[in-house]
């Protein structure tokens, strides 16, 4: 497929070839406040984020995906994606903000960066950096990601330890804090 459409208002990608819906129950142990997460699971198990992708898996090819990250918090921690390294660590990625507000958290060894995302902003995720998105706004945070077809997703080490920083709400704003489990 050589061309496609995104509905920029709703963040809906046409003709996607893969999609993933992550609910609260898919995020066990990702947040500090497990009790708050369990309560949320019992109270309807809301969707945290949705991904719609067009994939081309060969080396040298490019895949792309829209993520719709819903607004909300688990305890005082904002809704976020699981986060991953690329299986092939030397594969970079481009993120383009389409709607809403968020942060892109990136980490390579002890080096950690976070960049605010908004409509029209392009962020480069260099090779070797794990990356996670966080919705710090009140509405959906929607972005487009473009990545090498053979990058792959490695969730293992992030699922175990998380990132060195967490993003919480403090006095109505976001605050980036040290992860106590790190
Ligand atoms: C993105 C992410 C997407 C969902 O398309 O895969 O935002 O985040 P998780 O994969 O961490 O659950 C990307 O970075 N692709 O490489
Ligand atoms: Zn990625």
Q: Where are the chain's structural domains? A: 6-178
DSSP string, 118-179: -TT-EEEE-TT-EEEEEE-SSS-EEEEEEEETT---B-HHHHHH--SEEEEEETTEEEEEE-
Give the span between the Cα atoms of 54 and 73, in whole angstroms: 29
> Helix, strand, or coil here: 83?
coil
**Interface predicted TM-score (ipTM) over 0.85:** yes
Measuring from each residue's beta carbon to the nearest atom of ligand 1, which residues come in under 6 Å? Answer: 51, 65, 67, 81-84, 93, 131, 133, 145, 147, 151, 153
Q: Under a CB-based contact definition with an 8 Å cutoff, are residues 125 and 131 in contact?
A: yes
The reported pLDDT for the residue numbered 159 is 92
Q: What is the mean pLDDT of residues 8-33?
A: 96
* Residue ranges near ligand 2 (ion) with Cβ within 5 Å: 93
The reported pLDDT for the residue numbered 21 is 98
CA of 174 from ligand 2 middle (Å) equals: 23
Q: Is the pTM of this model over 0.90?
A: yes
CATH T-level fold of 6-178: Jelly Rolls (2.60.120)
Is 10's pLDDT higher than 90? no
CA 32 to mean position of chain CA atoms: 17
Residue nearest to atom 8 of ligand 1 (CA): 81
Give the span between the Cα atoms of 53 and 70, in whole angstroms: 17
Nearest to 32 by CA among 173, 174, 178, 133: 178
Q: Nearest ligand to the C-alpha of residue 155?
A: 1
> Computed from CA positions of residues 171, 173, 176, 181, in that sequence, does the dihedral angle turn out positive or negative?
positive
**Tens digit of pLDDT for each residue in 42-92?**
999 999 999 999 999 999 999 999 999 999 999 999 999 999 999 999 999
Is 9's pLDDT higher than 90? no
CA of 16 from ligand 1 middle (Å) equals: 15
Q: What is the mean pLDDT of the chain?
A: 97
């Amino acid at each position: 497929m050589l061309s496609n459409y995104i509905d920029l208002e709703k963040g809906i990608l046409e003709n996607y070839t893969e999609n993933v819906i992550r609910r609260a129950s898919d995020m066990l142990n990702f947040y500090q406040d497990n009790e708050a997460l369990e309560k949320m699971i019992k109270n309807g198990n809301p969707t945290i984020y949705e991904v719609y992708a067009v994939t081309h898996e060969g080396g040298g090819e490019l895949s792309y995906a829209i993520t719709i990250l819903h607004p909300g918090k688990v305890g005082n921690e904002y809704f976020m994606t699981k986060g991953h390294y690329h299986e092939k660590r030397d594969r970079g990625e481009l993120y383009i903000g389409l709607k809403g507000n968020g942060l892109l958290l990136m980490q390579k060894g002890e080096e950690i960066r976070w960049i605010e995302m908004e409509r029209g902003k392009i962020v480069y995720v260099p090779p070797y950096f794990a990356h996670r998105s966080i919705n710090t706004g009140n509405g959906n945070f929607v972005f487009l990601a473009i990545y090498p077809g053979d990058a792959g997703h490695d969730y293992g080490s992030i699922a175990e330890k998380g990132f060195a920083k967490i993003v919480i709400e403090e006095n109505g704003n976001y605050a980036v804090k040290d992860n106590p489990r790190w």
